[in-house]
Amino acid sequence: MTDAQSLATLATAGREPPLPLRLALPETGALTLNRWLRILPGKRYAGMGQWRGQPVFAKLLVGSKAERQYTRECAGAARLAECAQAAPHALATPRLLTQGFVSGVGGWLLFEWLEDAESLSSRWQTAPTAAARDHLLGMALRACAALYRQGVWQADPHPDNLLFVQNRLYLIDGGDIRMEAAPLPIKRQLDNLGLFFAQLPEIADDALPALLAASALFSTPLTATQTQSLQNARAKARHWRMRDLLDKCFRDCSLFVARPQGWRGMFGRILARRDAAEWLTPLLANPDALLQHGLIYKNGGSATVARIECAGHALVVKRYNVKRFWRGLRRCWRLSRAARSWREAHRLLALGIPTARPLALIERRFFWLTGTAWFIAEHLPGENLVARLAHHGGHLPSAEQTALENLLAALARENISHGDLKGHNLILQEAEDEKQAKQWALIDLDAMRQHRFACTFRRAHARDCARLQRNFSEAVHDF
């Protein structure tokens, strides 16, 4: 670690400043950063560090808009502290230890570090039962109610901004805090709740009124018009959030690395998850070198599929081949099948539907005309549906049958058709503990589609169900 640097150096430090990093903060002392948590290059850096011998959460603001953002962060943190003091039973917020701003340099806010904190998203995913999820949601709604009574709301009420330390709920991110006259108007509350519920895909629209009533968020039950308004706000928020995610996964941002090959991707592109890009480097440079030494699952004319090992990780690589010149020419103007798999995998994960975690996409092009492409995902352990049916004489145990019905219901709720719902594309995911339910994960997503119109979805869903049913008939026949 070198001598302390000025905060101003972060303005040009890029997306991954080297760690550990020691910054000299005027009239505050030295801050040593050990881990980055979120970075907006040249604008905002958030991380975990040490200040005066104690762990802190540091939010550092630089760039041309630093002063405006610093003012907003300070005001939001102060307002959150007031709300927490007014309703200590509902929420808490980390203490602001110190703050400061230097014109032309930037600003900083150092908060107490919440040890062993777990986000609402994380607890939600591991909650063993619906009752446990309802309890978590009830705590979150009570925190929202405490804010609304004070005329406060969070512009982006993200589940990751709600942290649990044991059984106490903390609200963070004062930069997104907005304020107006108390109490908050009902219309604003409904719009804000719609945005919050949009990020919890397992909650069905028809369950929202009961959950709201149980939480006592509103003094009187919602009218039918207000309930519909909440559902509309949720649907609208889900739509634009999904559109934003599917756009992000094709460009360089905090979650993804995008490397165009040639001018504006003339000769191809490489997309990868930022948290995996470094150890994927050998594979991204030459995917076929590792592919040919892997365990081949399929080696057909249209695609080659293999399981490989890369940096200690088990991966599945699917290479989409161009079989014939004229067929390739017809397809070269479309989104490649690998890109569709990449996009749809992110769609499913955002909706809470299990699938293999997508890690990278590689496309080779010739003057923007798509040719060979590779889709790389984590390997999913577990047996496929064909194997499970073979083990049980053409029938599934009740828990696995229920999991399959839940998967189909989730796809139907989102108007999604798979396009090739054969048994080899369904992988059973065992529960991590006895309190959790088994799940079926979907793979091979290049024919997947989310339908805009109910009529086209019904036809496609019927074909999916018919293809799925043939798995059972074939298993009974083979048995």
pLDDT digits (tens, 9 = 90+) for 210-269: 667 666 666 667 777 888 888 888 888 888 989 999 999 999 988 999 998 887 778 889
Tokens of 395: 């029938």
CB-count exposure of residue 181 (10 Å: 0-12, 13-18, 19+): exposed
Q: Residue 240 is which amino acid?
A: W
- The CA distance from 253 to 38, in Å, is 11
Tokens of 235: 């649907």
Q: Provide the H-helix boundaries in 249-336.
A: 281-285, 287-291, 325-331
What is the structure's pLDDT at 315?
96
Q: Is this structure's pTM higher than 0.85? A: no
Element (H, E) at 58: strand 54-61
- The CA distance from 50 to 192, in Å, is 35
What is the C-alpha R_g of the chain?
25
- The CA distance from 237 to 402, in Å, is 30
- Indicate whether 479 pLDDT > 50: no
Tokens of 72: 């907003």
- Indicate whether 1 pLDDT > 50: no
In the chain, CATH 3.30.200 covers 5-112, 256-378
- Indicate whether 125 pLDDT > 90: no
Element (H, E) at 441: strand 439-442
Do residues 57 and 110 touch, judged by C-beta distance below 8 A?
yes
Least confident window among 26-40, 199-213, 354-368, 426-440: 199-213
- Indicate whether 439 pLDDT > 80: yes
Instruction: Give the relative orientation of helices 130-149 and 66-86 as an angle to the nearest 10 degrees.
Output: 110
What is the structure's pLDDT at 7?
87
- Indicate whether 430 pLDDT > 90: no
Do residues 251 and 346 touch, judged by C-beta distance below 8 A?
no
The domain 256-378 having CATH identifier 3.30.200: the answer here is yes
- Indicate whether 93 pLDDT > 90: yes
Q: What is the CATH T-level fold of the domain 385-478, as seen in this structure?
A: Transferase(Phosphotransferase); domain 1 (1.10.510)
Do residues 309 and 295 touch, judged by C-beta distance below 8 A?
no
Class of domain 5-112 (CATH, top level): alpha beta
Per DSSP, 176 falls in state: G
Least confident window among 182-196, 260-274, 430-444: 430-444
Would residue 470 be called left, alpha or beta, if left means φ above 0 and alpha means ψ between -120 and 50 degrees? alpha
Q: Provide the H-helix boundaries in 36-172.
A: 66-86, 120-126, 130-149
- Indicate whether 417 pLDDT > 90: yes
Percent of the chain with pLDDT over 90: 51
Going by their DSSP bridges, the two strands 21-25 and 439-442 should be labelled as unpaired
Half-sphere exposure of residue 474: CA atoms within 13 angstroms, side-chain side: 13
- The CA distance from 217 to 448, in Å, is 39
Tokens of 384: 């496929």
Using the Cα atoms of residue 249, residue 252, residue 257 and residue 261 in order, give the sign of their dihedral: positive
> What is the mean predicted confidence (pLDDT) over 43-62?
94
Class of domain 118-248 (CATH, top level): mainly alpha
Using the Cα atoms of residue 134, residue 136, residue 142 and residue 147 in order, give the sign of their dihedral: negative
Element (H, E) at 386: helix 385-391
- CA distances 211 to 167, 271, 325, 400, 403, Å, are 20, 40, 57, 28, 24
Tokens of 205: 């629209």
CB-count exposure of residue 429 (10 Å: 0-12, 13-18, 19+): middle
